[in-house]
């Protein structure tokens, strides 16, 4: 009997693998995509440079691994974003909440395009209003209103959260909410 108890407790085998989700991360240059993802991966914050093409990071969480394809946000690169959308299961959109009016308008247009893109429109979105630690940062309520998220994203699954590198726990919590949406989506019967 002791052997059976020992075997039941110790010989269960390896834990089940964590699910992996393929995500695309977009936003204008300077919004903080690279810094946030590097911090989530516990990488050095020194010598971070803007992504000029794309990079892929495996971001480990307790209940999932997010394979994030970060796309550069420069003018010359944004026109190619849609070529990298295929296979994505979710979207992370990072915006600089302390940016100029012109940049905020550009970010709004890019987010609207992404929310309406055929390969992304049914996917969960995590929208991060970054740089909340800066004096000029707009609140989440201001961003929601300016970006017209309520009418535009009605019927879609999206989360808008404030963030900054100063509060990585809040960033992790936001990603956990996204993982929950991804898990819910996976459990739904497929739409054919």
The answer to whether 110 touches 79, Cβ cutoff 8 Å, is: no
Angle at 36 between CA 32 and CA 38, to 5 degrees: 120
On whether 27 is known to bind a ligand per the annotation, the reply is yes
Annotated binding-site residue? 122: no
Find the distance separating the first CA and the last CA of the chain, reported in whole Å: 51
Residue 119 annotated in ligand binding:
no
Please name the residues in contact with 48: beta carbons below 8 A apart, sequence gap of 6 or more: 34, 35, 38
Contact in structure between 130 and 42 (CB atoms under 8 Å): no
37 annotated binding-site participant: no
Residue 93: DSSP 8-state: E
- Does 30 show up as a binding residue in the annotation? yes
State the Cα–Cα distance between residues 71 and 23, nearest whole angstrom. Answer: 11
76 annotated ligand-binding residue: no
Strands (E), the chain: 20-26, 54-60, 65-71, 90-96, 125-130, 158-162
Whether residue 73 is annotated as binding a ligand: the answer is yes
User: Is 113 annotated for ligand binding?
Assistant: no
Q: Is 112 annotated as a binding residue?
A: no
Asked if residue 53 belongs to a known ligand binding site, the reply is no
29 is in an annotated binding site: yes
Q: Tell me the pairing of strands 54-60 and 65-71.
A: antiparallel
Is 34 annotated as ligand-binding? Answer: yes
Q: Name the DSSP class of 15.
A: P
Please report, in range form, the residues annotated as the binding site.
27-34, 51, 73, 130-133
* Binding site residue list for GTP: 27-34, 73, 130-133
Residue set of the binding site for Mg(2+): 34, 51
């Amino acid at each position: 009997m002791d052997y059976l108890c020992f075997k039941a407790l110790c010989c269960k085998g390896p834990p089940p693998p964590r699910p992996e989700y393929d995500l695309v991360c977009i936003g204008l240059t300077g919004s903080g995509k690279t810094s946030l993802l590097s911090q989530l991966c516990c990488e050095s914050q020194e010598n971070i440079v803007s992504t000029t093409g794309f990079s892929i990071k495996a971001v480990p969480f307790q209940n999932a691994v997010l394979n994030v394809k970060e796309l550069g946000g420069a003018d010359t690169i944004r026109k190619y974003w849609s070529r990298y959308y295929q296979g994505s299961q979710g979207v992370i959109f990072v915006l600089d909440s302390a940016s100029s009016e012109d940049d905020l308008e550009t970010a709004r247009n890019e987010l609207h395009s992404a929310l309406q893109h055929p390969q992304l429109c049914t996917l969960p979105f995590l929208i991060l209003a970054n740089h909340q630690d800066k004096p000029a940062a707009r609140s989440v309520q201001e961003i929601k209103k300016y970006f017209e998220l309520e009418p535009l994203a009605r019927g879609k699954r999206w989360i808008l959260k404030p963030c900054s590198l100063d509060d990585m726990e809040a960033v992790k919590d936001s990603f956990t909410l996204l993982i929950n949406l991804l898990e819910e989506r996976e459990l739904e019967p497929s739409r054919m």
